[in-house]
């Protein structure tokens, strides 16, 4: 997959979710349950098993591994800018 300069996912942190918009598609990510006994639990936990397809109407289109890597980098950048922690499981 070739990326053009400036072609990166837009990440929006909403109340209780992450919304990724990229190339006309959207993926809404709800948090995975945080461990109940973790004192240093992250602000948001993403279950990678849930990131298979895009939101409707593109829910028949799988998120490719290279796309997933780029999306995760964009999420990391957005959380870093806000001083928040994100974890992936």
Whether the CA torsion 59, 62, 67, 72 is positive or negative: it is positive
pLDDT score of 1 more than 60? no
Q: Is the pLDDT of residue 36 over 90?
A: no
Name the phi and psi angles at 38, rounded to 5: -90, 115
Tens digit of each residue's pLDDT (9 = 90 or more) over 39-87: 778 899 999 999 999 999 999 999 999 999 999 999 999 999 999 999 9
Which helix H or strand E contains 67, and what residues bound it?
Answer: helix 65-82
Q: Which pLDDT does position 2 carry in this prediction?
A: 47
The pLDDT tens digits of the residues spanning 8-19 come to 999 999 889 999
Q: Could you give the CA distance from residue 36 to residue 74 in angstroms, rounded to a whole number?
A: 27
How many CA within 13 A on the CB side of residue 45? 12
DSSP label of 87: E
| pLDDT at residue 15, as a whole number | 83
């Amino acid at each position: 997959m070739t990326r053009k300069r400036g072609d990166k996912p837009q990440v929006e942190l909403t109340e209780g979710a992450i919304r990724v918009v990229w190339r006309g598609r959207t993926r809404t990510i709800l948090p995975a349950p945080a461990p109940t006994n973790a004192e240093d639990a992250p602000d948001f936990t993403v279950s990678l098993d849930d990131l298979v397809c895009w939101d409707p109407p593109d829910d028949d289109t799988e998120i490719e591994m290279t796309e997933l890597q780029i999306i995760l980098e964009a999420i990391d950048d957005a959380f870093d800018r806000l001083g928040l922690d994100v974890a992936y499981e």
